[in-house]
Structures are given as C-alpha cells and as structure tokens.
Amino acid sequence: MSLARIAVIGVATLAALGAGLLALNLSQSEPQEPVIITAAPAQPPIRLVDVLVTKSEVPMGSEVSGSLGWQKWPEDGVGPDLVLKSSKPNAVDEFSGAIARQSFFAGEPVRESKLIRPDHGFLSAILDEGKRAVAIRISAETAAGGFILPNDHVDVIMTRRADSADGKSQKLSTETVLRNLRVLAIDQSVEEQNGQKVVVGQTATLEVDPSQAEALTAAQQIADRLVLSLRSLADSVPGSPGYARFLLEQEKAQRNKIRVVRYGRIDDVTTSQ
C-alpha cells in the first residue's frame, strides 16, 4: 500500500472520530446549576401610626382625664374618625376634662363623637333628637325592687282612686300610661358600676317625646302611685326579636282607645276588641 493511500485513510479515520465526538457532545444537555434558597421571601413592611386610645376602662358619664394615651396602630386599619397623633399631637391635653358619651374599653381607639366637651351638658348630649328628660319619684316598691338601672326600658303604670258613678264609693283604676321608655339615670347615676351593689334610688329620669312628657307630668299630678314595670330587653330595643310585636301592640292600643266625656269629666277608655 502506498504512503499516500495510508495518509488518506488516516485522515478519514480522524475525521470520523471527530464527527462522532461532536455528535455525542451535542446530544448531551448541559447540566443546570442547582438553585439554593438561602432565605424566606421578604414580607412587605406594616406601616404603623400613633392612635389615641383609652389606657383603662372608662364608664359612660366619666371623665377621660388620665385615661388617654397613644398606641401604635396599623395604618390600614385606621378609620377616618380616629384621632391620629400626626393630625392632633396635643389631643391628650385637648380632651382633658371631656366626658364619655358611651363606655370605653381599655385599649379602645377614641372617637370624638363619643366624647362630650366639658362646656356641654352630659344629659342633653345623650338624649336622642326630639326627646326630653322627665324625672319621677320612685321607691323600691314602685321600681322593681330597686333592680331598674340606667339604659333599662320600663312601662309607667298609674294607679288612682276615683269616685264611682253613684258617688257613694270609690273604685281603683290601673292603667299603663306610657310604654317602653328608656331610663336615663337613677338619681345621679347614669351607669351601673362593675362590682357595685344595687342602691335603691329616689328619682328616675326617663327619656320621652314632648307629648309623653305632658302625659307623664299630668299622670304625676292625678295618680296616687306611679309604678315602673321593667321590660325585657328582647322586646324593648329596635332590632330585638319582640320589638315588632311591641309596635303592633302600641298601634292596637291607640286604635282601641275611646275618649268619653260625661258630666264634665273626660275619661279614656280602652275597649277589649
């Protein structure tokens, strides 16, 4: 075999080996580098702001002086009616002497709508629009044994003696003159204190509308006794289960009432039907 032929065969062999190695390298995928997680994903930071809160429990009708302070609060949970240190940095001093219109829990954010400035009357502030406050004399016998407290609801029952038609004897008449009145205060107390024993008051202040105020004033003049009948919470407050039934009873009572004028006397008679 000539030298030239041997050289051609060698070159061809080397070319075949090179092509095979190249095809082998192309067929193999490159190894990927492993991904190592070194830390947990970072959470977005929570922005905090200073909000005015009550540091201790404040009963309704009490001063908030000494019970106010600043507390960090998530900015996303701040409502438009909360007091912020950024807008009122001197709020603790500004609200000194203010009176709580409603009770506050410890740590509760303060809303200005629940505070009464010291230059305003407290009782007039807790009255609903169009309502009046009228006080009547009470005792343990006429006020459910002393267990009627502020914010309870009561009926006013009037008892009186009147001459019979022949004028020779007297008859005892009893009727409920007003229903579902809110008790604003017993004597000077506007809220029951936790752990305090029940004290029998001598005066109950009731929330009435103008016509009810006139009726209650007249009833105190002609009645031998006025009794407060404590109502259940279930049929006293709007939204309670029995409140609709109370409204129907009120409408029926007004529909069945007849005014009788006889011998110069005016009597309101309630029919049974």
What is the set of domains in the chain, with CATH numbers?
48-116 (3.90.1210.10), 127-231 (no CATH)
Per-residue pLDDT of the chain (273 residues; tens, 9 = 90+): 566 677 767 767 777 777 767 666 666 555 666 666 666 666 668 888 999 999 998 887 778 888 899 999 888 878 888 899 988 999 888 888 888 887 888 999 998 888 887 666 667 777 778 888 888 888 766 666 667 888 888 889 888 887 766 666 777 888 888 888 988 888 756 555 554 555 567 888 899 999 889 888 888 888 888 888 888 877 766 666 666 666 666 565 555 454 444 444 445 545 444
Distance between CA atoms of residues 48 and 72, nearest Å: 6
Q: Are 115 and 84 in contact (CB under 8 A)?
A: no
Q: Which residues of 146-180 are buried (b: 16+ CB within 10 A; e: fewer)?
A: eebbbbbbbbbbbebeeeeeeeeeeeeeeeebbbb
Is residue 134 within 8 Å of 206, Cβ to Cβ? Answer: yes
Whole-number Å distance between alpha carbons of 122 and 36: 67
> Taking a C-beta distance cutoff of 8 angstroms, is the pair 145, 186 a contact?
no
Contact of 143 with 198, CB cutoff 8 Å: no
- The span from the CA of 70 to the CA of 122, in Å, is 26
The residue type of 189 is S
Task: Tell me the pTM.
Answer: 0.54
Task: Tell me the C-alpha distance between 33 and 236, whole Å.
Answer: 74
* C-alpha distance from residue 197 to each of 144, 147, 191, 194 (Å): 15, 10, 12, 9
